[in-house]
Amino acid sequence: SDAIQSANAETFLDAVRPGLAIYGGYVSDAAMQRGGLRPTYRLKTRVLRVDHLAAGEGISYHRRWIAERPTWTATLAIGHVDGYPTGATKGCEVLAGGRLYPVIGTVSASHTVINLGDDRALNVGDEVTLVGGDAPALHPNEIARRSGWSEYNMFMHLSPSLARTVVESKLPPVE
């Protein structure tokens, strides 16, 4: 397994079942510190709506998050039914327009809300990366850690209904 690989340099990426490593994931913080793997996917979505909240206004079920001061929020077209963790509100961030934004409120079945702060920096239709890419905060293992999810869930629970685009493949086409 990948746990054995990460513990033994002689078997690392050799004749053993790679497990999460095949997707660029790590089974432990110690293995992640060794580095060398990159996530094999990115989870992206689009902004559905942008709202301005006054101080004291809330969002999500039961007003789970309340604005302490006037702030902008963006609602994203992705939720836990797609494989994004409900615990993402415990400290996860997303990347949009070159900036990281915190996930707030409640990750619902089909929507996630982020805090844009004082600036309306995003617009409806803008692309948002939730998992993957070069930002350390977006590595699947880091999202699992922050959200209280298993790292296995980050790789194995993506909805089959999500659109997939193969960016680069060295495999021959299937006939």
Among 109, 110, 74, CA closest to 93: 74
Domains of the chain: 2-34 (no CATH), 43-156 (2.40.37.10)
Q: Which of 104, 114, 106 is nearest to 76 (CA)?
A: 114
Q: Which amino acid is at 43?
A: L
Angle at CA of residue 25, ends 116 and 163, nearest 5°? 60
The whole-model pTM stands at 0.83
Reading the chain (175 residues) residue by residue, the pLDDT tens digits are 555 555 566 666 666 677 788 888 887 777 777 777 888 888 999 999 999 999 999 999 889 999 999 999 999 999 999 999 999 999 999 999 999 999 999 999 999 999 999 999 999 999 999 998 878 889 898 999 999 998 888 888 888 888 888 777 676 777 7
Six token digits for residue 65: 């998050």
Which pLDDT tens digit goes with each residue over 154-170?
888 888 888 888 777 67
